[in-house]
Structure 1
Amino acid sequence: MFHPIMRSTRLTALALAALLALMLAPALVLADEDGIFIETVNRSSGLSGEEPTEEISHTFVAYGKMKVASADPNGTDMILDPATGDMLFMNRGVKEFYKINTKSMMEGMSKPGMDQMRAMMEQTQITVEVTDETRTINGWNCRKYRVTKTGMMDIEQEIWATEEVDLKELERYTDLMSLSGPDGLLANSDAGRAQQAEMDKVKGYPILTKSKMQLMGTDMESESEVRVIRRESMAASQFEIPADYKERQMDAPDAAGAAGAPAGHP
């Protein structure tokens, strides 16, 4: 038997421990996760009948997800979840969202359709020229790379990348968007390996990417410039669909309406 004073002391200690656990539990549950924040300026010109545009997008990466949010209050946000293959597009102007699952999309395609798409992607030829040109952009020392892509669409790119930033963890998100990852159409193919090997010549993270292409007889130019990269605390709710948003069913996203993705290896 414990002495009454010892018993009282022990109960008090247990009570304090339980109270402390209750006090700490909400903090642990609600604690934010350290994530990556990127601010990018996206510029475009050449669209028929439209003036050159400039839009700022904010990228948040945490909890195994990536969110690309337009600075426009009525813009479109995108959330990527590589674990499930889900791509969510949320229209803040009308409070609607639609979802595309890349895994289901690929599984739902017929074999002839898959083979045709794969053949078209295999036609893309990529050439990367490493130059000796360097410059400082937004505080990062960058090297210039010239990238040429021919195939379904001819694209000329000028990429200024820095090795002062290591964001290889973002590759799983860019892979999901381009379907070029381990589960993509060109996975384990000679064409896919050749394309990846060429793009691997671009060392570091792209800070400024200038692209020129021709689409339906119209010359188009776009530019993506990273202004800010930092690590900061993020709440899980940032990567969830707001409760008052309604789901909209559609076959494919309006790519032109989605917020600009962060700069990365195309």
Structure 2
Amino acid sequence: MTTRFSGAANAHSLIRGMRLTLAVLLASLLNLSAVLASDEGIYLETLNRSTGLMGEAPQEELSKTYLAHDKMKVASSEAEGTDMILDPATGTMTFINHAAKQYYTINIASVKEGMSQPGMEQMRAMVAETKITVQDTGESQKIGDWNCRKYLVSKTGMMGIEQEVWATEEVDFDVNRFTEMMSLSGPDGLLANSPEGAAQQAEMAKIKGYPILTKTKMQMMGSSMESESEVKVIRKEAMPASLFDIPEGYTEREMGKGMGAAMPGPAAHP
């Protein structure tokens, strides 16, 4: 299989209680398009570090990512952390708060349908203003077990983002569909079938392979944040379908009712 890196994603706080667990996901904003449907899956461990996140002290956390059964799960290494499950077949994102033994599910299509048309148009205009440039530096370096190539990514518009991405073409899996659910420039995003969305996707497609190390500097509303996500482990292993189930005894909650403080909604970038 072939790995492609397109889409964007580095807005790191998908979930506050999870803090950095999903940083790798958003730092790369991958587009996952061919997924394992058997018991054999792909397991990844990523070390995520950040400073300046919402005024908090520097943080470091290990996240665990599971790809199998046409689903993706990003799990916190903390027993009482927060997990996220993406299911492209249903178009849903499920957040599981282990500390509260609660979960809530977001249907992405329903969320977009629930927004007023003027609101959608305003948001679409803001996203369309985002300009992305990718520079292949030609530099190479071995990071962990993988030979990587360095790319510089600049994103301007709603916020200023500068990234240093080290990607490898040595991994044996195709990533192209899960975070497309969250990508605003993806086929189901706000910029779907638009020249602006196509331009953003084409620029990010210049990054060849899977990102092993991503360093990000972000400016937003007068505050700055720096983060770093480094993949430490990639391996194939058997994964039961139950790994992607809601734990028994957990209570479903609605958005904003008892869950919001621990898990604000996802932030996505083109």
Measured against the shorter chain, the TM-score band is 0.7 to 0.9
SS at match of 2:138: strand
| Residue 248 of structure 1: aligned partner | 253
Q: Establish whether residue 204 from structure 1 lines up as the match of residue 209 from structure 2.
A: yes
Q: What is the aligned counterpart of 1:114 among 104, 109, 120?
A: 120
CA distance in 2, matches of 1:105, 1:179: 13
| Residue 195 of structure 2: aligned partner | 190
| Residue 18 of structure 2: aligned partner | none
Opposite residue 230 of structure 1, the aligned amino acid is R
SS at match of 2:188: coil
CA distance in 2, matches of 1:48, 1:167: 35
Q: Establish whether residue 50 from structure 1 lines up as the match of residue 56 from structure 2.
A: yes
Q: How does 1:12-23 map to 2 (within 5 A)?
A: none
Q: 5+ residue gaps in structure 1?
A: 1-31
| Residue 25 of structure 2: aligned partner | none
Identity %: 63
Please report the RMSD computed on the Cα atoms of aligned residues, expressed in angstroms. 2.3
**Alpha carbons 2:182, 2:189 under 8 Å: kept:** no
Q: How many pairs were matched up? A: 230
1:126-172 CA-to-partner distances (Å, cap 9, x unmatched) read: 0001002111001100010000000000000000000112433x321
Structure 1 residues 83 and 255: alpha-carbon distance in aligned structure 2, compared to 1, 3 A threshold: farther
Opposite residue 219 of structure 1, the aligned amino acid is S
Opposite residue 218 of structure 1, the aligned amino acid is S
Structure 1 residues 117 and 49: alpha-carbon distance in aligned structure 2, compared to 1, 3 A threshold: closer
Q: How does 1:90-109 map to 2 (within 5 A)?
A: 90-109=96-115
CA distance in 2, matches of 1:48, 1:87: 24
Instruction: Quote how far apart the aligned CAs of 1:207 are.
Output: 0.3
| Residue 26 of structure 1: aligned partner | none
Structure 1 residues 257 and 54: alpha-carbon distance in aligned structure 2, compared to 1, 3 A threshold: farther
Q: What is the aligned counterpart of 1:222 among 224, 227, 238?
A: 227
Opposite residue 223 of structure 1, the aligned amino acid is E
Q: How does 1:69-108 map to 2 (within 5 A)?
A: 69-108=75-114
Instruction: Quote how far apart the aligned CAs of 1:183 are.
Output: 1.6
Instruction: Quote how far apart the aligned CAs of 1:189 are.
Output: 0.5
Instruction: Quote how far apart the aligned CAs of 1:179 are.
Output: 3.8
Q: Establish whether residue 177 from structure 1 lines up as the match of residue 182 from structure 2.
A: yes
**Alpha carbons 1:42, 1:54 under 8 Å: kept:** yes
CA distance in 2, matches of 1:186, 1:37: 31
| Residue 129 of structure 2: aligned partner | 123
Instruction: Quote how far apart the aligned CAs of 1:248 are.
Output: 1.2
- Higher RCO, Cα 8 Å, sep 6+: 2
CA distance in 1, matches of 2:85, 2:56: 28
SS at match of 1:172: coil
CA distance in 2, matches of 1:141, 1:162: 6
Instruction: Quote how far apart the aligned CAs of 1:243 are.
Output: 1.7
SS at match of 1:178: coil
Structure 1 residues 255 and 127: alpha-carbon distance in aligned structure 2, compared to 1, 3 A threshold: farther
SS at match of 1:202: coil
CA distance in 2, matches of 1:38, 1:176: 20
**Alpha carbons 1:160, 1:206 under 8 Å: kept:** yes
Instruction: Quote how far apart the aligned CAs of 1:215 are.
Output: 2.5
SS at match of 1:72: coil
Opposite residue 204 of structure 1, the aligned amino acid is G
| Residue 161 of structure 1: aligned partner | 167
Structure 1 residues 255 and 132: alpha-carbon distance in aligned structure 2, compared to 1, 3 A threshold: farther
SS at match of 1:188: coil
CA distance in 2, matches of 1:46, 1:131: 28
Structure 1 residues 166 and 111: alpha-carbon distance in aligned structure 2, compared to 1, 3 A threshold: farther
Q: Which moved more, 1:67-76 or 1:180-189?
A: 180-189
**Alpha carbons 1:147, 1:158 under 8 Å: kept:** yes
Instruction: Quote how far apart the aligned CAs of 1:251 are.
Output: 4.9
Q: Which has the larger radius of gyration?
A: 1
